[in-house]
Amino acid sequence: MSGAGFWNNQDSAQAVVSRVSALKAVIEPVEELQREVKDLEELFELAFETDKDELGQLELDLEALVKRCERIELQGLLSRPEDMRNCFFSIHAGAGGTESCDWASMLLRMYTRYFDAHKYKYRELDITPGEEAGIRSITLRVSGPFAFGRLSCEVGVHRLVRISPFDSNKRRHTSFAAVDCLPEFQEDINIEIDEDDLRIDCYRASGAGGQHVNKVSSAVRITHLPTGIVVQCQNERSQHKNKAQAMNVLKARLYMLEEQKRDAELAKLYGDKGEIAWGNQIRSYVLQPYQMVKDHRTGHQVGKVEAVLDGEIEAFIESYLRHRAKTRQTQK
pLDDT given at position 264: 52
Is 233 among the domain residues? yes
Closest CA to 155 of 75, 243, 273: 273
Tell me, rounded to whole angstroms, the distance of Cα 291 from its chain centroid. 25
116 band by pLDDT with thresholds 50, 70 and 90: very high
**Prediction pTM value:** 0.74
pLDDT score at 187:
61
- Model pLDDT, residue 72: 83
- Does residue 96 sit within a domain? no
Q: Which of 234, 253, 272 is at the close of a domain?
A: 253
For residue 270, what pLDDT band results from cuts at 50, 70 and 90?
A: very low
- Looking at 25, 45, 75, the residue that finishes a domain is 75
Q: C-alpha distances in angstroms, 204 versus 27, 159, 201, 290?
A: 45, 33, 10, 45
Q: What is the CATH number of the domain that holds 203?
A: 3.30.160.20
Considering the domain boundaries, does residue 69 fall inside one? yes
Domain assignment of residue 190, yes or no:
no
Whether the per-residue pLDDT at 272 is higher than 70: the answer is no
Domain end among 219, 253, 287: 253
Does any domain span residue 303?
no
Per-residue pLDDT, 74: 81
- The confidence score (pLDDT) of residue 211 equals 42
Number of domains observed in the structure of the chain: 2
Average model confidence (pLDDT) across the chain: 85
Examine residue 48 and state whether it is found in any structural domain, yes or no: yes
In a domain, 243, yes or no: yes
Confidence band for 203, pLDDT divided at 50, 70 and 90:
confident
Q: Is the pLDDT score of 271 beyond 50?
A: no
Predicted confidence band of residue 165 (pLDDT cuts 50, 70, 90): confident
**Domain coverage including residue 221:** 195-253
Element (H, E) at 181: strand 172-183
Please indicate, yes or no, if residue 168 is contained in any of the structural domains: no
Q: Where are the alpha helices (DSSP H) in 172-262?
A: 211-215, 239-262
